[in-house]
Structure 1
Amino acid sequence: MFKLMKAIICYLSYSGNTEEIAELIKRRLVESGYLVDMYMIGFGPVPDLSIYDKIFLGTFTWDKGSTPDEMKEFALEVGYKPDNVYVFGSGDTQFGGDDLFCGAVDKLVKFYNCCYGGLKIEQSPRGSQEKIVTKWLEGVLENG
């Protein structure tokens, strides 16, 4: 019997860039046959992540490569570290250069011991960066 795959995209976005990445990932997942739920972190109760085949976490990077407090609080509210987490995020190299670029993505990948590397996008995923998102997601679906 065929099992329909379910994914959730939990994201935190102030400027809208991380939300754009989340929406793009959602479109690609739906095209791949997934049922996809979206959850904007900080708005409503934390969903039950145990019912999803893939969990995508999206964040921006804050204050010299830091993870925003809302993402940390989300992790605490979930209460455990799922093993099917994939992390993506937006950043801006003008605030700290390459060393601090999307530092929150790196920290979350390490925290969740992700089996697939994080996706880092400079500001918005528009234009050529859309292909980077698509390629990353293809890798997640093939290898993750």
Structure 2
Amino acid sequence: MASLLVYASMTGNTQDMADAVAAGVQEAGGEIEQKDVIDASASELEQADGILLGAYTWGDGDLPDEFLDFYEEMDNVDLTGKIAAVFGSCDSAYPAYGAAVDLLIEKLRERGAVVLQEGLKIELSPSNEETEICKEFGRTFFKNLSE
């Protein structure tokens, strides 16, 4: 079972989360391919057994610009029954905390994916403790995928 993790990161915070989530999946025995959203196509989601998406929230609650094309392409994919999860780096200085995570969960569900985990939102850069939370998120994702 191979999973695909697609993420967008500007300052490295979401990439740090992505690395930790991927490490958790691997620790649990899963295979995972990790891609920057700029190098990914939404059609690749249909080939994956499991889907992980990671995005920081831009401004007042928007997806990052580099995620917009991918997000629109998702309208053309069928993700029925696929296990998916979403994470992202957030900034509580803005009124909509981690809204990009919520937007992606909504889109995945709209396309038929099964999102069992609550979206993981970390304030800015993950601390050592939060890095462990990210790994656990990856392990839980793989457990859900394996059941």
Is TM more than 0.5 here? Answer: yes
1:41 positional shift: 0.9
1:107 paired residue number: 103
Q: 1:19 to 1:42 in 2, by over 3 A?
A: same
- 2:103, 2:51 → 1: CA distance? 16
Which has the greater radius of gyration? 1
Q: TM-score, normalised by structure 2?
A: 0.81
Aligned length: 137
Secondary structure at 2:93 match in 1: coil
Structure ranking higher on relative contact order (CA contacts 8 Å, 6+ apart):
2
Q: Offset of 1:75 from its aligned partner?
A: 2.4
Q: Give deviations 1:95-137, integer Å, cap 9, x for gaps.
A: 33xxx11011011112212333211011112222123223333
Report how far residue 47 of structure 1 moved. 6.2
Q: Calculate the TM-score normalised by the size of structure 1.
A: 0.82
2:90 paired residue number: 91
Q: Does the 8 Å CA contact 2:53/2:87 hold for their aligned counterparts?
A: yes
Unaligned runs of 5+ in 1: none
Partner of 1:80: 77
Residue 88 of structure 1 contacts residue 118 of structure 1 at CA under 8 Å; is this kept in 2?
A: yes
1:48 is displaced (CA, Å) by 2.0
CA distance in 1, matches of 2:8, 2:97: 17
Alignment RMSD: 2.0
**Between the two proteins, what is the percent identity of the paired residues?**
29
CA contact (8 A) 1:81 1:112 kept: no
